[in-house]
Amino acid sequence: MDSTSTCYGATIKYLVLILSIGSECSGVIRAQDNKSGLGASFIFGDSLVDSGNNNYLPTLSKANIPPNSCDFKGSGGNPTGRYTNGRTIADIVGEELGQPNYAVPFLAPNSTGKAILHGVNYASGGGGILNATGRIFINRLGMDIQIDYFNITRKQFDQLLGASKARDYIMKKSIFSVTIGANDFLNNYLLPLLSTGTRITQTPDSFIHDMINHLRDQLTRLYQLDARKFVVSNVGPIGCIPYQKSINQVNEDQCVDLPNKLAQQYNIRLEDLLSELNNDLPGATFVHANVYDLVMELITNYNQYGFETSSKACCGNGGQFAGIIPCGPTSSMCSDHSKYVFWDPYHPSEAANLLLAKQLLDGTDKRFISPMNLRQLRDLS
């Protein structure tokens, strides 16, 4: 962990230079001391932010096997169900916004009583916006089901706090983060034989149109359940993950074109959707997190951020980038986890997550986080 913190401290100055983070270290520390702001964080999404829901599902998408979570202090390095070596972006954001505990996984036995007042995590490895996404894994929680589960949590808040206080707490003191969409491409559209028959002939435009329409309904349902402060991430450069680079056998400094093009096409539509919802849903704030460009910056200029590689997975096997066989007990492993942008064939390392989370929390460049950053979203009244 020490090497991670060192790496993190050392890279802040690069961020100031390259990503024009704006706020200085002193600002970061002052804000860290403010533990009063956030009520609950409700986390929706896929394996990028799953903190253990899939441990309770009969599914082929599992991360509760070593060496996953090997750098996670909260478990002493034992597997938690996180698809990375340490904290996810959602964990880090929660900590920085003043949460005493990580949001409990909805399916975990301890997601009851007062524990939920700090938030609940509904994210599930393999999940997507569309219901059919992730069928290859047999089981996973898609966005529709994640929101059905929040509807259950919402009623528990009424019981815990009383209807009027609960409404206030959820509207004013809670943040809803949504990190979804990558699996709709990786584990649906780009696997045509496993998708429904119509997919095979569906154009990217029409598929993305379906995704955006579903997401509009999903975000609107959350709004109907009193969600007001949202942060929605776009889809990252999925053509640059070690898995895609390995199966498509591209060069070290190349990414796979089609997945990146699909992500970019979706991301343009997502930005429009969030502006639309900011206009149409009174009192709601939708913050757009441009994870695509932030991750691309780390991948392109990895050496300036203290990484040794942005093409190879730290934990994985197969192909030139260790990107074919998922991370597990028999995988080969890199020695310094903090020197790899990618922990496994699909997911960023904790070191990368720390840099990305910092940008979402304190960034001032509207290209990456807009119309405000997450500390400002928390403090919005």
Ligand X SMILES: *[C@@H]1O[C@H](CO)[C@@H](O)[C@H](O)[C@H]1NC(C)=O
> Could you list the active site residues?
47, 344, 347
For 2, which DSSP code? Answer: H
Q: Given the complex with ligand X, which of 4 and 218 has the nearer CB atom?
A: 218
Provide the token pair at 52: 């253990």
In the three-class reduction of DSSP (H, G, I as helix; E, B as strand; rest coil), residue 318 is classed as coil
Task: Return the CA Rg of the chain.
Answer: 19
Q: How far is the CB of 284 from ligand X (least distance, A)?
A: 14
- Of 104 and 352, nearer to ligand X (C-beta) is 104
CB of 135 or CB of 337, closer to ligand X: 135
What does residue 229 show for φ and ψ, rounded to 5 degrees? -105, 110
Q: What is the number of the residue whose Cβ is closest to ligand X?
A: 37
Q: In whole angstroms, what is the distance from residue 215 CA to residue 209 CA?
A: 10
Q: How far is the CB of 36 from ligand X (least distance, A)?
A: 5
- Closest contact distance (angstroms) between CB of 5 and ligand X is 21
Listed in sequence order, the residues at least 6 apart from 144 whose beta carbon sits closer than 8 Å to its beta carbon are: 131, 214, 218
Residue 364, phi then psi, degrees to nearest 5: -120, 0
**Residue placing its CB nearer to ligand X in the complex, 245 or 358:** 358
Give me the residue label for tokens 């720390």.
354
Check residue 79 and report its DSSP letter.
-
The tokens describing 237, both together, are 């450069």
- How far is residue 254 from each of residues 150, 265, 311, measured CA to CA in Å? 40, 19, 9
Rounded least distance, CB 147 to ligand X, Å: 6
Q: In sequence order, what E strands does the chain have?
A: 41-45, 104-105, 119-121, 175-179, 229-233, 285-289, 309-313, 315-316, 332-333, 340-342, 369-370
Instruction: Summarize as ranges the residues that interact with ligand X (CB under 6 A).
Output: 30-31, 34, 36-37, 74, 101, 104, 108, 110, 115, 131, 144-145, 151, 221, 224-225, 378-379
Pick the closer one to ligand X by CB: 211 or 273: 211
Please provide residue 303's backbone torsions phi and psi, each rounded to the nearest 5 degrees. Answer: -70, -30
**Contact 356/86 with Cβ under 8 angstroms?**
no
**Shortest spacing between CB 173 and ligand X, in angstroms:** 9
Report the alpha-carbon distance of residue 120 to residue 151 in Å, rounded.
Answer: 12
Choice between 4 and 133, CB closer to ligand X = 133
Closest distance of CB 67 from ligand X, Å: 18
Q: How many CB atoms lie within 10 A of CB 27?
A: 13
